[in-house]
Structure 1
Amino acid sequence: MMTNLFSVFDPSTTLFKINFNWISVSLGMLIMPHLFWFMPSRMMFLWNNMLTMLHKEFKMLIGPTPQQGNTALFVTLFSLILFNNLLGLFPYIFTSTSHLSMNLTLALPLWLTFMLYGWINNTQHMFTHLVPQGTPSILMPFMVCIETISNIIRPGTLAVRLTANMIAGHLLLTLLGQTGSSLSVTLTSLLLLSQILLLMLELAVAIIQSYVFAILSTLYSSEVK
């Protein structure tokens, strides 16, 4: 029995005070490797085409760089978040991306790396980026403060956006599911239909949020060149 509504997101499978629910993050290692030695399927071709399209889009956003393989980081980030978002839609599987600790672990190192690289290698560009072009001289100190604050809160906004979207849909599904036992047959049928529609919406949200997280990370990296 849940002590509160948010307890559905709490890790509950423990052994020696170790939360084994987080193992769901590594389930991809058991599912994905078979793609390398089985005959390619239609799903594999669809996945490869999607990753190719993402690679081209990320490459366009990053721009020409002397380093090769820059997009591999963001394609992998998209795949990881998408996989965990989709896993969370299955019953009895822990939704790791609904936790701020997980999402901050992804966003904070990326942002810190971009900032260190930019300030060390392109210091002048980073200073000029604090003042948008065409800003009046009297507003420049305020714009520097605003741009500095917006840069600092970027990892937090990335993590909170993903966490909030994952929690909202799951909470709505849980709230509707708890009312099923007290409804009539007709209302239960309507409830089942609404649950199916919400699950389809959650599927779209899982894909969109993983794409948004990856695309914003790519945009942040393109600003430090």
Structure 2
Amino acid sequence: MKLAEADEGDIYFDGRRITGLGMKEMRPLRRQMQMIFQHPDSALNPRQTLLDSLLEPVRLHRTMDREAGMAKALELLELVGLSSGILLRYPHQISGGQIQRIVIARALMLNPAFLVLDEPTSMLDVSVQAQVIELLRQVQQTFSMTYLFISHDLELVRCVSDRIAVMRSGQIVETGGSGQLMEDPQHPYTRKLVDAFRALRY
């Protein structure tokens, strides 16, 4: 996402090297890549209504006028299971689960092709987690979107991922299809993770 500059190596997006691109060059690409952060309660401006938060991406990128933006916001609100009556509220007036749904809707306002999700359910109650994960799966199917899903929860990763990359100390130690990697891990660190996961389950 280039929120921090890379120390080494290269970053490619859709076949294009973006490692050295500046802010101006990255701006049009940012319409195609969005992020959902770990802490939903800090992802929205507390001084903005939820409506203003939803409309902010289209205002910044000038992709549509306010009327079209309103129509898009209402469409996405319905998709994430919220009513239009919530739009004039502020973040502190709704629950964590509702905030995360608003954050998901906002991420979709620009029709991105790529969505980075950093522990998107870790700060939510268990009962709400399942609802948000089901919503994310529905969004992925509806928009044919690529997810990069970051989590310590192997059950969650297996549930939403086609491929898994296991990292240790910032280095990828193993990659593979989610089923294959969970059933037949090759790296010692991956085996430890899978064994710990199985022990918790049983």
- Higher CA-based Rg: 1
Structure with the largest fraction of helix: 1
Structure with the largest fraction of strand: 2
Q: Would you call these one fold, judging by a TM-score over 0.5?
A: no
Higher relative contact order at CA 8 Å, sep ≥6: structure 1 or structure 2?
1
- Tell me the TM-score normalized by structure 1: 0.29
